[in-house]
Chain A
Amino acid sequence: MGTASAATLPGSGEEFHLHYLNVKHGLKAWLLTTDHKRIAWLYFFTTTFFFIVGGLAATFMRLNLISPQGALVEPETYNKLFTIHGTIMIFFFLAPAVPTVLGNFLIPMMVGARDVAFPKLNLLSWYIFITAGAIFLYSVISGGVDTGWTFYTPLSTMYLNTHVLSAAMAVFISGFSSILTGMNFIVTIHKMRAPGLTWFRLPLFIWSMYAASLIFVLAMPVIAITMALVMIERIFHVGIFDPALGGDPVLFQHLFWFFGHPEVYILILPSMGVISELMAAFSRRRVFGYGFVAFSSFAIGLISFIVWGHHMFVSSESAYAGIFFSAMSMAVAIPSAVKVFNWIATMYKGSVSFEAPMLFALGFIGLFTIGGLTGVFLASMGLDIFLHDTYFVVAHFHYIMVGGAIMGYLGGLHYWWPKMTGKMYPDYWARISALIIFVGFNLTFGPQFLLGVLGEPRRYATYPPNFQFLNIMSSAGASILAVGYLLPFIYFIWSAKYGAPAGPNPWGARGLEWETASPPPVHNFDVTPVVTHEAYDYEAVSETVAVS
């Protein structure tokens, strides 16, 4: 493999600068790479592709819901659309996006390493991921699957003649990709840190990714085994979950949500890590209460494993179990609020600037707070009986997953794009995009809270005519949201070709990843850095010094 780049001055214009993008060319050099930075790009393109597919499914759903009778598709097709949307967005976009794109690119750089601990496993996990994705696309193309992303039994095992088997297979396989990624990250964070980089000098993004990786490693095997049981029940007709054959469908719900609820924290934790980075960088201040923010990630990860029962308040769970799960679900609000308050306190007396990444971060805080507070509503049993399976739930988790996770992802992409490509994007258009997304998002999902309170159930292709006004508002908002998502596609592609050179540290940030050239050399640092300050050392030193 290539040696470190020659002593070039990064960002000095015309001078040739050898980095990870131009060191080798050709398809083979990309498909067989073990460089974590190139694997991040492989993941970027594939997860973006799945985002587009899942987004198209959502587009058709919102178009259909313009009219009470269903404007576009048959109810059966609508069922398939929301299954495609949910499965792809959860398993093939949200769960992998931040960890495998930003995490892969940044974790080795933030800990001052040349690569992740197991580069070959890293590439293998991508191949497993695209295999799983291809199998799911096969199930879509060959006729679709209409179980919803939750694959509830006995619907999925006994009653449906759609392509449940291949869809379950896809989810089963995708779990192993995530396990390998999580394992790789945990070991990298433990064993690959540069000299002087103690745990409490690490960026908070690393702490979040560590907590998310733990959930990957501990929750994904459970969904894999559950999907294996579903497949076996379908193939051999043995009654694991089918009551007619002696099984218990509620057991499936327990196994599924034992995975499923930690899974939703996999989606949000990495984005929370991104927000901590953005808050510090654009407030020019150390993150307030570093230790609290760091350990709140672990608190969220830990509690996430004992809240799954709140999905079964109305499916045969005992009142005592319900009380426990209700209390635990509300307890998640505490570490989440610790984060939100600390981010806000970080801005206090900081010199805050409002570049595009910061706008995404502020959007995150607002939307995540709404999503989190409505989650407390749903965690209280008495209220959940009325709101269960209504649009209120849909709105709640979209505020977390889209308003939270995707805002964080976009904020992170905008923040580290100069590092990843070495090019700047037009900040003006990026700020416009952040604003459009914020407005469009609230227009899309705000009305759904009202629809849920009024009693519109989720997952139906039709609805009573009196709900039409709010549904049209929601669909209109979705079209604005789509414009907001389209803009980054355009200016990112533009910037990759025409963007101004970014230089090693366009934001004046203090993290280790900014101390090397943009794009970084193959081994990230020409010389292994020796760390003498923490990642948010804005007060002590006013000017960054490249270690090399």
Chain B
Amino acid sequence: MAEEHAALVAEQFDDQLQQYQTATLGMWIFLATEILFFGGLFAAYTIYRYQYLPAFEIGSHHLSVLWGGTNTAVLICSSLTMAMAVRCAQLGKKKPLIAFLFVTLIFGFLFLLIKFGEEWRHEYLEGLAPGVNFTYHGPHAVHVELFMFFYFFMTGLHALHMIVGCGIMITLIILASRNYFQEKFNAVEIAGLYWHFVDIVWIFLYPLLYLIGGRFPH
């Protein structure tokens, strides 16, 4: 009995509740760090957009609203399946847990596939990749390049978080198949916090990058 207890609760904690609350608080603080991490970029974006609005609108019009919108839908669906996975973990239902984690992972892969395989590839071939292949010579070329840089850097940083998230999903699936979560469901919950955060970042990125400049006339 005592050994069972020791396996579930790390030695620095008194009980499972303390361990659970500690891990959750740790993830929330990590997310606060992440907000400031992206926040520097959002601040820089805001300032340059204020200064060079016409160039930013031209740049935005070169992005694919269709694929960006599709990816937004993909991520919102993945948030739903992630929430379902957390619920299953809390209820101790192993098979649906693995299923929902797997679907979330597939959504994650789909997002990355569209992002890199379709959008980035397309923009690179069009000559819109700053510093690598930038051949746009229309009006405001210098600041269109600046916009495209922010597009690539911010979506790239977001995609990096998605890749980490997919890695976490794979880990969770393996652990779940080994019955790890019968007692320790909070690992799924904490991974869920991270996953939802990354989704929310995209909810801000999508309108700021794809939808500026009155592309759809009234």
Contacts and interface: CB of A to CB of B under 8 A. Distances in A.
Contacts of B40: 221-222, 225-226, 255, 258
B142 A239 contact: yes
Contacts of B153: 229, 232
B22 A117 contact: yes
A186 B31 CA distance: 14
B29 to A, nearest CB: 5
Contact of B47 (A246, A251, A528): A251
Given A225-B37, A237-B131, A238-B130, A186 B47 contact: no
Contact of A190 (B25, B34, B132): B25
Interface string A187-224: 10011100000000000000000000000011111101
Contact of A192 (B11, B22, B29): B22
A191 B47 contact: no
Interface stretch (A108-116, A466-474, A530-538): A108-116
Interface residues of A, number: 44
A119 interface: yes
B113 interface: no
Contacts of B132: 236
A240 B48 CA distance: 10
B44 interface: yes
Interface string B7-45: 000111010001001100110011011101111110110
A248 interface: yes
B110 to A, nearest CB: 27
Interface residues of B, number: 35
Contacts of B14: 528
B145 interface: yes
Nearest to A116: B12
A500 interface: no
Nearest to A195: B14
Contact of B145 (A182, A220, A239): A239
B39 to A, nearest CB: 7
A257 B5 CA distance: 48
A217 B32 contact: yes
Contacts of B197: none
B149 interface: yes
A191 B14 CA distance: 11
Interface in B53-86: none
A245 interface: yes
9 contacts: A187-B26, A221-B33, A221-B36, A224-B37, A225-B37, A225-B41, A238-B146, A251-B47, A258-B40
Interface of A: 1, 113-119, 179, 182-184, 186-187, 190-192, 217-222, 224-226, 229, 232, 235-240, 245-248, 251, 254-255, 258, 523, 528
